[in-house]
Amino acid sequence: MTRKLHLALHPYGVGGPGHHGLWKDPSIAKNASIDINYYIQQAQAAEHALFDALFIVDSQFINATYPSHYLNRLEPLTLLSAVATHTKNIGLVGTASSTYNSPFNLARRFGSLDHISGGRAGWNVVTSFDTGTSRNYGLEEHLDYATRYGRALEAVQVIRGLWDSYEDDAFPADVERNVFLDPAKLHALNHVGEHFRVDGPLNLSRSPQGHPVIFQAGVSEEGRNLAAQVAEGIYAPGGSLEDAQAYYADIKRRTAEAGRDPDHIKIFIHGGPVVGSTDEAARQRAREILAEDNDFDRNVGLLGRAFGAHDFSQYDPDAPFPDVAHLAERGGRTGAARIIARAEAGGLTLRQVVETFNDHRTSPFVGAPKTVADTIEQWFAAGTFDGINLAFRNNADLALFVDGVVPLLQERGLFRTEYEADTLRGNLGLPIPANRYAADRDLVDA
């Protein structure tokens, strides 16, 4: 098989969504989510296993019902800058909102991480579906879907323009001629658009990979269209094999229709493998994990995130699921619509919705190492993903996958045996973007 599988690591800290009992695990430090050494160790373990990237999620609104990791965690760019100095090859992908950040600030921060890491940075573009975030930025109301995604598209376009402020040979640093900068190779953006006005230039040159890699994680129509236009990596919802196939084919089709090479967008699905000495041992461990995490009150709070952090605890859990469709438009609209449709189709109570919502995260990658490798190979060959964004509860679970599953994937020619490059783009097989001003000059000269 000529295609190569890509693997990323998504640390849970003390427990992300649906993993409410993880903080009780004696192997997990209670301050893991704010301990930089935890992230450095995770990144180094993933790099030793030749993973493509470390992925850090983020949000900027919480209440007391949110997952443990969300309540007390480090800001992604600060975290990844520290990790960069302790790693050499692994990509460093951080989440930042295009709704609640200015393009100039984002361009500078991610450009800086790209330089600090030697060309290993990636930006996971989110539009923020936690509606309470607006009130942390002086706004009474969260922006609607169309505005958020229109802003996201323009933000990426502006930021890419700022990353091209300097051509690659803009700094001759010629002492004899007393020329540090060639001013003809410095370009102001002078952008005036619907959402932003940004003059530029950015006071930072391009990194060895040209631009940080753009990731995105949308499942709505707006999200899929944004991905087709600008994304180079996608964090996809997964689900069943058929669901994953349909999503994969749809994104690749939209990318081609947008005039881009579909091979230049890498789709990662979420995977929480449970590896055991035997299939039955792994299934038993998966059942234990579900029991550990099955906290009804926390699951009620988690359900509320899709509806703008709505408080579902105010309802009778055994009454029919409440009419909350109007709350979805400024929250996680696609996920909320799926929940409502499931509730209406089955005539479900709130309790039943919470229980089925929790069940939905069960991983397909459960079993002995060979079983897990077989399933990954089956899904990969079936056109469901280009990579897996892996999450493990603790270091022991990560080691079981790295020591048991990765060698099998390598033996089958599915996964690398050494890094292809020292940049994230190089390892993902993505091209270095040409500097737009240098490219325009080359066209004129031709």
Each residue's pLDDT tens digit, 206-220:
999 999 999 998 788
Residue 285 included in any domain: no
Q: State whether 235 and 304 are in the same domain.
A: no
pLDDT of 132 reads 81
Confidence label for 331 from pLDDT (cuts 50, 70 and 90): low
The per-residue DSSP string of 43-64 comes to HHHHHHTT-SEEEE---S---T
103 and 116 in a common domain = yes
Looking at the fold, whether 322 and 205 belong to one and the same domain comes out as no
Structure-model confidence comparison of residues 78 and 308, the more confident one = 78
Average pLDDT of span 235-248: 92
Residue-level pLDDT at 90: 98
Taking Cα atoms as reference points, which of 149, 76, 119 lies closest to residue 213? Answer: 119
Q: Are residues 161 and 238 in the same domain?
A: yes
Question: Which pLDDT score is estimated for 239?
Answer: 86
In the predicted structure, residue 238 carries a pLDDT above the cut 90: no
**Crossing angle for the helix pair 36-48 and 76-84, to the nearest 10 degrees:** 60
Average pLDDT, the chain: 92
In the predicted structure, residue 165 carries a pLDDT above the cut 90:
yes
Q: Are residues 194 and 323 in the same domain?
A: no
How many other C-beta atoms are found inside a 10 Å radius of the C-beta of residue 438?
16
Distance (Å, whole) CA 446 – CA 429: 28
Q: Are residues 189 and 109 in the same domain?
A: yes
**Would you state the pLDDT for residue 102?**
96
Tell me the three state secondary structure of residue 199: coil
The answer to the question of residue 337 being in a domain is yes
Q: Distance from first CA to last CA of the chain, Å, rounded?
A: 39
Question: Higher-confidence residue: 34 or 294?
Answer: 34
Model pLDDT, residue 107:
98
Q: Is residue 384 within 8 Å of residue 364, measured between CB atoms?
A: no
Residue type, 87: T
Cβ atoms of 68 and 21 within 8 Å: the answer is: no
The reported pLDDT for the residue numbered 141 is 81
Q: What is the pLDDT of residue 360?
A: 44
Rg (C-alpha) for the chain, rounded Å, is 22
Q: How many secondary structure helices (H) and strands (E) does the chain include?
A: 16, 12
Residue 20, pLDDT above cutoff 90 = no
Spell out the residues 6+ positions from residue 435 whose beta carbon is closer than 8 angstroms to its own. Answer: 164, 167, 168, 206, 210
Between 99-108, 158-167, 305-314, the lowest mean confidence (pLDDT) is in 305-314
**How far are the Cα atoms of 92, 154, 237, 290, 334 from residue 298, in angstroms, in the given order?**
30, 36, 21, 13, 21
Q: Is residue 385 part of a domain?
A: yes
Q: Which pLDDT tens digit goes with each residue over 169-188?
A: 999 999 999 999 999 999 99
State the average pLDDT over residues 235-260: 94
Of 322, 338, 359, the one marking the end of a domain is 359
Which of the listed residues 304, 337, 359 is the one where a domain comes to its end? 359
On whether both 271 and 296 belong to a single domain, the answer is: no
Residue 128 has pLDDT above 90, yes or no: no
pLDDT tops 70 at residue 246: yes
Residue 133 lies in a domain: yes
**In this structure, is residue 366 part of a structural domain?**
yes
Task: Compute the distance between CA of residue 418 and CA of residue 25 in angstroms, rounded to an integer.
Answer: 33
pLDDT on residue 369: 98
Q: Is 1 part of a structural domain of the chain?
A: no
Q: What is the pLDDT of residue 354?
A: 87
Confidence of residue 444 (pLDDT cuts 50, 70, 90): low
CATH code where residue 416 lies: 3.20.20.30
* Whether the Cβ atoms of residue 54 and residue 42 lie closer than 8 Å to each other: yes
Residue 361: its pLDDT value, please?
Answer: 61
State which of 342, 359, 376 marks the end of a domain. Answer: 359
d(CA 6, CA 388): 7
Q: Identify whether residues 163 and 192 lie together within a single domain.
A: yes
The Cα 261–Cα 258 span in angstroms is 9
Tell me the residue range of the domain where 248 lies.
6-280+362-445
User: Residue 34's pLDDT is what?
Assistant: 98
Shared domain check, 256 and 162: yes
Task: Name the domain count of the chain.
Answer: 2
Q: Are residues 258 and 350 in the same domain?
A: no
What confidence tens digit (pLDDT) does each residue in 49-67 have?
999 999 999 989 888 888 8
Q: List all residues 6 or more positions away from 159 whose beta carbon is below 8 Å from its beta carbon.
A: 103, 106, 107, 110, 123
The pLDDT tens digits of the residues spanning 341-361 come to 888 888 889 998 888 776 446
Q: Please indicate, yes or no, whether residues 82 and 207 belong to a single structural domain of this protein.
A: yes
Q: Does a structural domain hold residue 41?
A: yes
pLDDT (tens digit per residue) in 382-416: 999 999 999 999 999 999 999 999 999 999 999 99
* Same structural domain, 156 and 261: yes
Share of the chain above pLDDT 90, in %: 72
